Chains A and B, each alone.
Chain A
Amino acid sequence: MNDFYDNGNAQEGSVKMATAALIVGIAAVLFFRIFYLSIPMAAISIILALLSRGGCVVSLRGKLAIIISSATIIFSASSTAYTIYQIYHDPVLRQQFEMYMEYFERLYSEDDDSSIWEPLPRQEEDAPVLPVEGGEQI
């Protein structure tokens, strides 16, 4: 009976995949403020690093890619969560956010196409005055 596991040269992992994982991991770190870029890139980096090991242990590059990518996912997710928390709990940010949302709703509304070309209201003229710490206005 033939041994179908007789594999010969495939013991070592893929160096190219580990390098690709590291590059994608570093790219994920660079985009870490943009969660919808950094998290997918970091996940791809982890997948590539884990698969690059083949039948043996993960190489140094692979390990580095996994560490960098895991840290990126954690930081990116926490940073995004913190930003969302801030928006919903800081009245100034919330007001600005709602202003932007209103602007985008007008921008993409189907009722009035001319509204697309209306600029975002200037802070000092149209937008409500936002109180800040120290009593000064924005």
Chain B
Amino acid sequence: MIYDNRELKKRARQKLVGRYGITAGTLLLCNLIITILFEPIQSMIPGNLSSLRRASSLFSIAAYLVCSIIIVFLGNILLSGYRYLHMNIARERSCSVSNLFYGFNHQPDKVILLILRVLLINLLYMLPCLFISYVVGSLFYTLLGTSIEIFFITAVIIAAIVLIPVNLRYVLIFNLWADYPDLTAREMTQKSREMMQGNRTRYFLLTLSFIGWYLLALLSLGIGLIWIQPYVMMTCTQFYLDLNESPRDTAYWSDERYNG
């Protein structure tokens, strides 16, 4: 059955009653680990641009980039564990803080492959966007004499217009990873794309409906995110479960691996 966004949010709040301790605690732990990992490598980047010419600075920048990429992957594996925790709560299964590390001992390579796939798809869409932005920026610069900043503004606007719908196709990949361990990364992205077909606007409106909550979080200097983030995550999990439990008629879904 397809529920409206209000119903999904209501069900998310229902599921989280009495469980904010574990979700908020896990979120804090996740952020703490990412901060602890990321803090030492911040010192690798040189302070001023003039020092970039030195070979040692270039080496430190390269080391910084490599470490950043590793930490992005580690962070995403942790976040996939956090998503798994929400799946457990939503399905009334037993859950604990250790769910956060689920991704490390259950096919972490698949999580990395999923992230890589989404990153590559983003890059594929990003390159034409950058080219168009460059052309528009150059035109404005030549005809109107505007500053080169127009290039960056155009790039951001075009990237937002193009990349948001693209990324909306892949929002369910980590839920699928938690639910269907037998699928390959390619099949998961394909299935996520199929599930989001015709539901992207609905998901987009669902995420937009949290603007008020984020304004409250802003007023609370970010402290309110401790409770809001689990609520948002649980609502997205409910959205996934709603789609996953809905009757499907495509041949793709008839595969026995999806019904096991």
Within 8 A of A (CB), among B112-133: none
Stretch of A5-13, A102-110, A115-123, A124-132 that contacts chain B:
A5-13
Q: How far is the CA of A12 from the CA of B17 in the complex (A)?
A: 8
Report the bound CA distance from A12 to B13 in whole Å. Answer: 10
Q: In the docked arrangement, what's the CA distance between A41 and B13, Å?
A: 22
Known: A11-B14, A53-B13, A55-B10. A4 touches B224 (CB 8 A): no
Instruction: Pick the contact of A10: B14, B20, B231, B241 (CB < 8 A).
Output: B14
Residues of B within 8 A of A41 (CB): 220
B217 within 8 Å of A (CB atoms): yes
CB distance A39 to B17 under 8 Å? no
- Kindly state the separation between the CA atoms of A17 and B216 in the bound complex, as whole angstroms: 17
Are A43 and B17 within 8 A (Cβ)?
no
Measured CB to CB, the closest approach of chain A to B85, in angstroms, equals 16
B209 to chain A, nearest CB (A): 13
Asked if residues B221 and A40 are in contact (CB atoms below 8 Å), the reply is yes
Is A51 in contact with B11, judged by CB distance below 8 angstroms?
no
User: Would A47 and B228 count as touching, CB distance under 8 A?
Assistant: yes
A134 to B220, CA, bound (A): 44
Chain A proximity mask over B205-225: 1 for CB below 8 Å, otherwise 0: 000000001001101110110
Q: Which residues of A36-63 are within 8 A (CB) of B? A: 39-44, 46-48, 51-55
Is A55 a contact partner of B20 (Cβ separation < 8 A)?
no
Central interface residue in B11, B13, B17, B20, by most chain A CB within 10 Å: B17
Which chain B residues lie closer than 8 Å to A54 at the CB level? 13-14, 16-17
Q: How far is the CA of A112 from the CA of B217 in the complex (A)?
A: 41
CB distance B91 to A4 under 8 Å?
yes
B219 touches A51 (CB 8 A): no
Q: How far is the CB of A61 from chain B (nearest CB, A)?
A: 15
Partner of B224, one of A5, A7, A43: A43
Q: Which of chain B's residues 20-64 have a Cβ closer than 8 Å to chain A?
A: 20
Q: Chain B residues near A3 (CB, 8 Å)? A: 245
Q: Which residues of B contact A52 (CB under 8 A)?
A: 17
User: Which of A5, A10, A13, A44 is B220 in contact with, Cβ under 8 Å?
Assistant: A44
State in angstroms the CA–CA spacing of A12 and B90 once bound together: 16
Q: Which of A4, A47, A51 has a CB less than 8 Å from the CB of B245?
A: A4
Residues on the A chain within 8 Å of B20, using CB: 14, 17, 51
A14 to B17, alpha carbons, bound, how many Å? 6
Do A39 and B219 touch across chains, with their CB atoms under 8 A apart? yes
Residue of B nearest to A5 (CB): B11
CA gap between A44 and B223 in the complex, in Å: 7
CB of A20, distance to nearest CB on chain B (Å): 10
Q: A40 contacts which chain B residues (CB < 8 A)?
A: 219-221, 223
Contact A55 B219, beta carbon cutoff 8 Å:
no
B15 sits at the interface (CB 8 A): yes
Q: Which residues of chain B are near A44, meaning CB under 8 Å? A: 220, 223-224
Minimum CB–CB distance from A80 to chain B (whole Å) comes to: 13
* A138 within 8 Å of B (CB atoms): no
Report the Cα distance A51→B220, complex, angstroms.
15
CB atoms of A4 and B90 under 8 A apart: yes
* 23 pairs, CB–CB < 8 Å, chain A vs chain B: A7-B11, A7-B14, A10-B17, A11-B14, A14-B18, A17-B20, A40-B220, A40-B221, A40-B223, A43-B216, A43-B217, A43-B219, A43-B224, A44-B224, A47-B213, A47-B216, A47-B217, A47-B220, A47-B224, A47-B228, A51-B13, A51-B16, A55-B10
Interface residues of A (CB under 8 A from B): 1-5, 7, 10-14, 17, 39-44, 46-48, 51-55, 73
What are the nearest 5 A-B pairs in CB distance?
Answer: A43-B219, A55-B14, A43-B220, A54-B17, A47-B224
